[in-house]
A and B are shown apart, each in its own frame.
Chain A
Amino acid sequence: MTAHAAAPPLGHDAPPQGGVGVYTQKVGMWVFLVSEVMFFTALIGSYIILRWGTGAQWPEPRSVLAIPVTALNTFILICSSVSMVKAYAAATRDDQAGLKRWLLLTVLGGATFVSVQAYEYHHLIEKGFLPSSGLFGSAFYTMTGFHGFHVTCGVISMIWVTIRAFRGKYAGGNYRGVETIGLYWHFVDLVWIILFTIVYLI
């Protein structure tokens, strides 16, 4: 996705006949995110159905999971979302130094989130809470695991974007690549907000 971001000159692909009025990469990313919504619907929906639709035995999440650590991790992910949007703002102003700084911070935030999650998994597995530990274990690892996988993909793409930023590919107000990857990043953050509430808190 990002590879194409800089390819067409600005204004080249303005939709001729009342498209949705935004550039092509952004349309593509949103369409992709729509399918991601459905993917997480399958996972989160299954959790909701199994827990509240069937009267299955369910432990109190708080008795299994460490809420304070994860709350902190949530905060880290939110911070990386903010740094992402700051990077985007810097790109629109053609503030190259700001762009690089904020992108690096975003990568750092994302990587920290994944690391904390790995630590959490390690801890839970040591305690004997496994994917085979009942429905809650199944759903917990599948949902947070796939979210973690998305964050990891995001971090890898973000490193790629950062490298491109250092090579000056987003100079001259060419913010599209940054904005497009940013949409994905914020989406992953948004999913976490929902997951955190449903899996950890309720």
Chain B
Amino acid sequence: MEATEHRTPNYVAIWGMLAVLTVVEVAVVYLRLPRRLMVVSLVFLALWKALLVALYFMHLRFEPKRLLYIVLAPLPLAVILVFAVMHGFRGP
């Protein structure tokens, strides 16, 4: 059926990448980089890892587009919620 048709990705390679990214993350923390740079790179690394899991392990890359719409639906709402609430508190 549809899920088996796609070329099987090299799971071991992705596993290696995830492992390396985790090591890099921990290294970033202990490198004592400037705080802003550290936060940006950590967020970037986390998103990269999350995308690898979602695209290959959950094989979203190989799913029909319409399923993607369902999956992506909550993300804008999550962002709206967090940003609106953070801006909702008055300044001192």
Contact = CB atoms under 8 A, between A and B. Distances in A.
Interface residues of B, number: 48
Given A82-B15, A86-B11, A201 B53 contact: no
Contacts of B22: 71, 74-75, 78
A129 interface: no
Interface in A54-70: 54-55, 62, 67-68
Given A34-B74, A187-B58, A197 B64 contact: no
A96 B92 CA distance: 64
Interface in A1-42: 10-11, 19-23, 26-27, 30-31, 33-35, 37-38, 41
Listed residue (B14, B53, B87) with the most chain A CB atoms within 10 angstroms of its CB: B53
Interface string B1-15: 111100010011011
A189 B1 CA distance: 26
B30 to A, nearest CB: 8
A110 to B, nearest CB: 15
A201 B42 contact: yes
B43 A30 contact: no
Given A37-B74, A193-B49, A197-B42, A20 B86 contact: no
Instruction: Specify the main secondary structure of chain B where it touches its partner.
Output: helix
A10 B49 CA distance: 33
Contact of B82 (A23, A41, A173, A186): A41
Interface stretch (A44-52, A116-124, A133-141, A152-160): A44-52
B81 A10 contact: no
Q: What 5 pairs between A and B have smallest CB-CB spacing?
A: A53-B86, A197-B46, A21-B64, A20-B66, A41-B78
Interface of A: 10-11, 19-23, 26-27, 30-31, 33-35, 37-38, 41, 45, 48-49, 52-55, 62, 67-68, 71, 74-75, 78-79, 81-82, 84-86, 89, 92, 173, 175, 179, 182-183, 186-187, 189-190, 193-194, 196-198, 201-202
24 contacts: A11-B1, A20-B66, A21-B64, A21-B66, A38-B78, A41-B74, A41-B82, A45-B85, A52-B86, A53-B87, A54-B89, A55-B92, A71-B23, A82-B14, A84-B57, A92-B3, A173-B4, A175-B4, A186-B57, A187-B58, A190-B50, A193-B49, A194-B50, A196-B46
